[in-house]
Structure 1
Amino acid sequence: MDHSILFSSARIGSVQIKNRYVMAPMGPLGLSDAGGGWSQRGIDYYVARAKGGTGLITTGVTFSDTDVETHGVGNVPLSTFNPPQFIRTSREMCERVHAYDAKIFLQMSAGFGRVTIPGTVGDAQAVAPSAIPHRWLDTTCRPLRISEVRRIVESFGQGARNAQKAGFDGVEIHAVHEGYLLDQFAISMFNRRSDEYGGSLENRLRFAREILEEIKSRCGADFPVSLRFSLKSMIKDWRDGALPEETFEERGRDTEEGIQAARLLESFGYDALSCDVGTYDSWWWNHPPMYQKKGLYRAFCKVVKQAVSVPVICAGRMDDPDVAAAALSEGDCDMIGLGRPLLADPEIVNKIRSKRFDQVRPCLSCQEGCMGRIQHFAALSCAVNPQAGRESDMALTPLVGAPKHVMIIGGGVAGCEAARVLALRGHTPELFERTERLGGNLIPGGVPDFKEDDHALAAWYVTMLAQLGVPVHLGSEITSEIASRGDFDAVIVATGSVPKVFSLGDDERTFTAAQVLLGERDAGRRAAVIGGGLVGCELALWLAMNGTHVTIVEAMSRILALNGPLCSANRDMLERLVPYNGISVITSAQAKSYADGILTVETSDGAQKLPCDSVILSVGYRENNALYEKLASSAPEIYLLGDARHVSNIMYAIWDAFEIANHI
């Protein structure tokens, strides 16, 4: 497909942008300094994406007010807390971004309101338009006073003026989108006010209008101001969102009101709308996991584009250039937003432009390194790219001395990442994999359609290792004797893990998850999956989508209890997809025996008998480190990586491999 439309210029207000790609805003947790400016990590992070070809950089959320809603200094940048520090560090960042002919907008937020994530803001009672339930905590929010609304509005003008002085090309307002504070004012479910900020839609959007007016009055009519905007809320009830294709009654903003809102926002003078759907009550829409389809916002953005004349930006799993080019050609939007794909590969835009898409490191939509880490650790990075948000700190270490010949045993993600980094640094890695394919657990894990990017990551490693000239020996079983005879300066053991198995009686019809996913065993029409972790639930979902009736048997009191740092959007969507697809779940239960097609399960209510054609064990993995134990005492330099060291997830396998390979 012709991708030239992606590299035609675009305009937002007075600002000309070299191509149609926009870096979508992602929370810059960990990218601020102690004075409220940008840390060197933050500057390097955005500059890397500008260097990678992105036409417009949109920073993650920053705050201009820190009185109404407390935001600790150093959490994210604060444009009014210490203006000289903010302007000084912002100026450096903007100058460097502009060197690559990219433009940059500062995203400014009115606050979180009822959706404050515990641990990322202060401990004060959350504010909201009205006394409504908090999204995460069992508390009631405090209604915002009119004087506080006006204080926030005034701070926007001050912060935007500071951004303009620093060299930002515009600002984006956060947001009549995702159920943040401005969106809470805009949605009648959350806004029960009887003053000038409540009642009619125009009154509920007054807050957003006054912010725009304040910024334009201070920065001039030609200073562009865009807005993050959600056409539709996807709310069934408090803390209860709708799934794709689900029939439900919208309690938040429906499409009709969304169209009215978009037209009003344009009439106020907003220069662009960056569009999606959803709220924190349906978080899997705004932060789409792999269970959402690619380009999921296209149809919604098209509705907005048909209603307004200002540019419409569409993000949402838009990394495939064919999908992106089609969205522009078919009139769905004017610009393409890339968020997480730019975490995974900051050079994705240049690689698409130069027809090197096979070299793009894919985003898995796992959200473990980005939103999962933000939720749990207030830090932004990427599962497949350990350098994201740490570009200088995690830069490749220059090779000192002679290159080393390094044997890598195991071709899963840990082994492949170690080989890639070693080769980039100038060492001579040689990789040995006992199977006929690189990728390890990516191969069975990527079988379901919604996990296609697992296979894309495996293919990326194949491409990268071939490009780097790394010798790869497939079908090579390495023993301690073979390893000891080799002429290697160092050995990396990345032999992965093996599934935990046990007998329930009928071993002929008891399989592992990998055996079923790879088509080595047939689950039949009725299957019982023992284990309701991430692997078990995704396996069950895939089987159910292909016509198998599945029952999950989980020993703990809930499914997905042990996986982390798993983003709430991923966990919550998968939890809802399980019953939505007809999958039965038995928790606080233990499988006792399986014979004559009957699985006996012990529960707190007594024994249950489940007829099933197969039992599939998904109760975790154990480290396969026997080879390392044999070599540990004799190898002059040896390292244990990935699941072979500690069973975890893709992120930690890649991160640990990068760390070790970067310092050999």
Structure 2
Amino acid sequence: MQDTSKSPYPTLFSPIRIGPKTARNRTWMSAHATLLVKDHVFTDAHVAYYAERAKHGVAVITMECMAVHETSLPYRGKALSFDPRMVPQYQKIAAAVHEHGALLLAQPWHRGRETNSVASGAPVWAPSAVPCAVYREMPHAMTVEDIDAIREGYRLTARHARSGGLDGVEVHSMAHGYLLNQFLSPATNHRNDAFGGSLENRLRLVMEIIQATREECGPDMIVGVRINSDDGHKGGLRPADWAEIAGRMTASGLIDYVSCSHGTYLNRMLIYPTSPESHGYQMDATRQVRQAANGIPVVGVGRIVTPAEAEKHLAAGDCDFVAMARALIADPEWVAKAARDEGAEIRPCVGANWCMTSIFAQAPIACIHNPAAGNEKELGTFTLKRAERAKKVAVVGGGPGGMRAALTAAQRGHAVTLFERGHELGGQIRLWSRAPSRRELLGIADWLEGQVTKAGVDIRLQTIADAEMLLADGYEAIVVATGSQGLRHGWTPLRPQNWNGAPLPGTDQPNVLSYMDALREPRAPGRRALVYDGLGGRQGVVTAEYLASQGAEVEFVTWLGQAAPDLAGSRDWGKTYGMLRRMGLRFATDLELTRIAGDAAHFRDIYTGDEIVKDGFDSIVLVLGAEAQDALFHTLAPKRAEGLTVKLIGDALAPRRADAAIREGEIAARAI
């Protein structure tokens, strides 16, 4: 057993009983979707994913939620916990996780009304015919026979968990507005039978499922529940309600722990908020649940990303375990680094929700700056091999991709020089972080800069590395990570034929800037600024926020039907719109920019053709994409025939996102 007497985190690293078993410390990996599922069962990729976290010290892992019935299929990449094919997959994962001393739990679940019938082909089930605010599909009000089928699905899950060698089952759907939450909440349960009305009736199905789960698990397995500690909306269950529910459930003697979360699909930023949500924001409500839980362990979550934060909440008695999902996606070595008192070495979760965006795109789990997330077999810890021969390597460009390439190349034993023409490392990450809501992004740049420095990379700032110099200095491999520059030609994808032709009239005026220049400009934006967005991504809203934070009155105009629709992937479009409206922004949609004349911007309504003029702007900022700065690569490329290794990565390859640049930097360095 680990000696915690000298640890700065003595509570975090103390063992604790959970029913019949002992957890080695107070860290818990909470369940989250991975899209690593194939044909509705777990895969070898799951084995590697969970084992990666177990080997670095996580005490308890709850695997991703699994459907207890075929009516809970939001997309095809969902596992079916009632399917006996899960048993051998459980056995594989359990063997890998138990080898490293962690406990492993299944999480059965049903979405209820918070889905649609597109993937399943079956009606949406709910206690009452109340549609979800996100999916808006009218559900089928469940019959008693339907309720029996759900209860049986949970029972089968527990049976398969026992056969699969798992340590226990975490009964889900009471959190996040899912099916059992819908039964519990008077906002969504309008029944007048034995499953509606009084709290006792609304709790009936939950207790029957817990009873069935315990019967299948027996006394030697863990049985827990995942609940909300606050639904966070009018008419929903609030902390006092959840404390009473937790008290009733724990008094039954059937469960060994309670895991708390927040929110429903009415307010999904309470479930997985992006930056700048305060860390530990759920803990006040979780503490109320713990006080009512009859002494059994309570698991808390809520953007807890550092060991110091975890220790604070544990020591204060807010919870007995700290659960993390995104923090452990970002760094599977989080627990081991904390145990070594190396908190500064932890790759920080920056609240960008790229993990959510990836899932939204039906791609496997990913992280904005951990390229190994979801690719543990190929890129995980202990997969990086020393180079057969150390080479002299140059990386040109000190953005996130260039720093990742330099770090990985140095870790493989190469002698690496990193050239950056600017006065600091970080590239566009540092530009974006000028917007107040994106300050946490600095964690990416700061972490990478600290790592390349520690790895012994020779960093040369304010240095232009041209082909002549690189070849004269005898570099054997060169990674070109020279990034991109924002476009200001004025054209949107509506006019592909004009993209490389003459620019839109007026875009050469000094008051017209690309979004990168606007974020980089030291001068004030003036009293009024226009942001014209042709992309629909985060660039436009980040730029608008920055200008507003500098005191400008900002109008946001786009040819799209809504501002920044791509934020649907990270789920924070509502949060972002609300923030910008509170800052005084005005929005206009469906308008194509046609010309700029002085302080006036001329637009065409893309549906009616009407001309609209907006004037009085001191600054006009164009968000139209970027142009790859790849000239150095094309100058060096012919030298590959003479044995020079030249790699092109990140925005210099094609302007995209930080995750792509970092992943390509990792892969390029592994290939040298």
- Same structural fold, with TM-score higher than 0.5 when normalized by the shorter chain: yes
1:242 corresponding residue in structure 2: none
| Matching residue within 175, 182, 187 for 2:180 | 182
Aligned counterparts of 1:549 and 1:317: Cα–Cα separation in 2: 32
Structure 1 residue 482 corresponds to structure 2 residue 488:
no
Q: Deviations over 1:366-392 (max 9, x none)?
A: 222x22222221522322222112211
Aligned counterparts of 1:228 and 1:610: Cα–Cα separation in 2: 54
| One-letter amino acid matched to 2:298 | V
- Give the direction of change, closer, same or farther, for the CA distance of 1:488–1:461 in structure 2 (3 Å limit): same
Secondary structure of the structure 2 residue equivalent to 1:377: coil
Query: How big is the shift at 1:477?
Result: 0.4
Q: Deviations over 1:231-266 (max 9, x none)?
A: 22234xxxxxxxxxxxxxx13323443333333333
The question of whether the paired residues in 1 share the 8 Å contact of 2:405 and 2:665 is answered with: yes
Structure 1 residue 106 corresponds to structure 2 residue 112:
no
| One-letter amino acid matched to 2:9 | H
Aligned counterparts of 1:402 and 1:596: Cα–Cα separation in 2: 60
Query: How big is the shift at 1:608?
Result: 3.6
| One-letter amino acid matched to 1:218 | E
The question of whether the paired residues in 2 share the 8 Å contact of 1:504 and 1:592 is answered with: no
1:24 corresponding residue in structure 2: 30
1:320 corresponding residue in structure 2: 306
Query: How big is the shift at 1:397?
Result: 5.8
Q: Deviations over 1:181-200 (max 9, x none)?
A: 22122222322222212222
| Matching residue within 520, 523, 538 for 1:521 | 523
The question of whether the paired residues in 2 share the 8 Å contact of 1:225 and 1:271 is answered with: yes
| One-letter amino acid matched to 1:586 | A
Query: How big is the shift at 1:543?
Result: 4.3
Structure 1 residue 661 corresponds to structure 2 residue 664:
no
Q: How does 1:140-179 map to 2 (within 5 A)?
A: 140-179=138-177
Secondary structure of the structure 2 residue equivalent to 1:373: helix
Secondary structure of the structure 2 residue equivalent to 1:416: helix
- Give the direction of change, closer, same or farther, for the CA distance of 1:552–1:255 in structure 2 (3 Å limit): same
Aligned counterparts of 2:301 and 2:229: Cα–Cα separation in 1: 13
| One-letter amino acid matched to 2:634 | E
Aligned counterparts of 2:632 and 2:639: Cα–Cα separation in 1: 12
Query: How big is the shift at 1:464?
Result: 1.5
Aligned counterparts of 2:312 and 2:387: Cα–Cα separation in 1: 48
1:239 corresponding residue in structure 2: none
1:375 corresponding residue in structure 2: 360
| One-letter amino acid matched to 2:129 | A
1:651 corresponding residue in structure 2: 659
- Give the direction of change, closer, same or farther, for the CA distance of 1:184–1:384 in structure 2 (3 Å limit): same
1:358 corresponding residue in structure 2: 344
Q: How does 1:276-315 map to 2 (within 5 A)?
A: 276-309=261-294, 310-315=296-301
Structure 1 unpaired stretches of 5+? 236-249
Aligned counterparts of 1:90 and 1:513: Cα–Cα separation in 2: 49
| One-letter amino acid matched to 2:107 | Q
Aligned counterparts of 2:123 and 2:368: Cα–Cα separation in 1: 33
| One-letter amino acid matched to 2:97 | V
Query: How big is the shift at 1:135?
Result: 4.7
Q: How does 1:261-280 map to 2 (within 5 A)?
A: 261-268=245-252, 269-280=254-265
Aligned counterparts of 2:588 and 2:105: Cα–Cα separation in 1: 49
| Matching residue within 578, 589, 592 for 2:591 | 589
The question of whether the paired residues in 2 share the 8 Å contact of 1:112 and 1:181 is answered with: yes
- Give the direction of change, closer, same or farther, for the CA distance of 1:390–1:186 in structure 2 (3 Å limit): same
Query: How big is the shift at 1:494?
Result: 0.8
The question of whether the paired residues in 2 share the 8 Å contact of 1:41 and 1:392 is answered with: yes
2:197 corresponding residue in structure 1: 199
The question of whether the paired residues in 2 share the 8 Å contact of 1:58 and 1:104 is answered with: yes
2:44 corresponding residue in structure 1: 40
Query: How big is the shift at 1:537?
Result: 0.8
* TM-score normalised by the chain length of structure 1: 0.89
2:571 corresponding residue in structure 1: 569
2:213 corresponding residue in structure 1: 215
| Matching residue within 325, 331, 335 for 1:339 | 325
Q: Deviations over 1:280-313 (max 9, x none)?
A: 2211110111142222212222232233333222
Structure 2 unpaired stretches of 5+? 1-6, 490-504
* TM-score normalised by the chain length of structure 2: 0.88
1:123 corresponding residue in structure 2: 121
| One-letter amino acid matched to 2:112 | G
| Matching residue within 638, 644, 647 for 2:646 | 638
1:466 corresponding residue in structure 2: 453
Give me the identity figure in percent: 29
| One-letter amino acid matched to 2:619 | S
Aligned counterparts of 2:285 and 2:601: Cα–Cα separation in 1: 46
- Give the direction of change, closer, same or farther, for the CA distance of 1:469–1:342 in structure 2 (3 Å limit): same
1:244 corresponding residue in structure 2: none
Aligned counterparts of 1:193 and 1:377: Cα–Cα separation in 2: 35
- Give the direction of change, closer, same or farther, for the CA distance of 1:118–1:284 in structure 2 (3 Å limit): farther
| One-letter amino acid matched to 1:272 | Y
| Matching residue within 252, 258, 264 for 2:242 | 258
Q: Deviations over 1:51-102 (max 9, x none)?
A: 1111111111123x344545888x34434422xx533332332233233332
Q: Deviations over 1:383-417 (max 9, x none)?
A: 22221122113354645643333221111111111
2:415 corresponding residue in structure 1: 428
Aligned counterparts of 1:295 and 1:86: Cα–Cα separation in 2: 35
- Give the direction of change, closer, same or farther, for the CA distance of 1:546–1:28 in structure 2 (3 Å limit): same
The question of whether the paired residues in 1 share the 8 Å contact of 2:65 and 2:107 is answered with: yes
Secondary structure of the structure 2 residue equivalent to 1:276: strand
Aligned counterparts of 2:436 and 2:339: Cα–Cα separation in 1: 27
2:18 corresponding residue in structure 1: 12
What value does the CA root-mean-square deviation take over the aligned residues?
Answer: 2.7
- Give the direction of change, closer, same or farther, for the CA distance of 1:519–1:498 in structure 2 (3 Å limit): closer
1:240 corresponding residue in structure 2: none
- Give the direction of change, closer, same or farther, for the CA distance of 1:292–1:504 in structure 2 (3 Å limit): farther
How many residues align? The count is 639
Aligned counterparts of 1:501 and 1:378: Cα–Cα separation in 2: 32
Query: How big is the shift at 1:574?
Result: 1.7
The question of whether the paired residues in 1 share the 8 Å contact of 2:525 and 2:550 is answered with: no
Secondary structure of the structure 2 residue equivalent to 1:114: coil
Aligned counterparts of 1:621 and 1:378: Cα–Cα separation in 2: 25
Structure 1 residue 445 corresponds to structure 2 residue 432:
yes
Query: How big is the shift at 1:345?
Result: 0.5
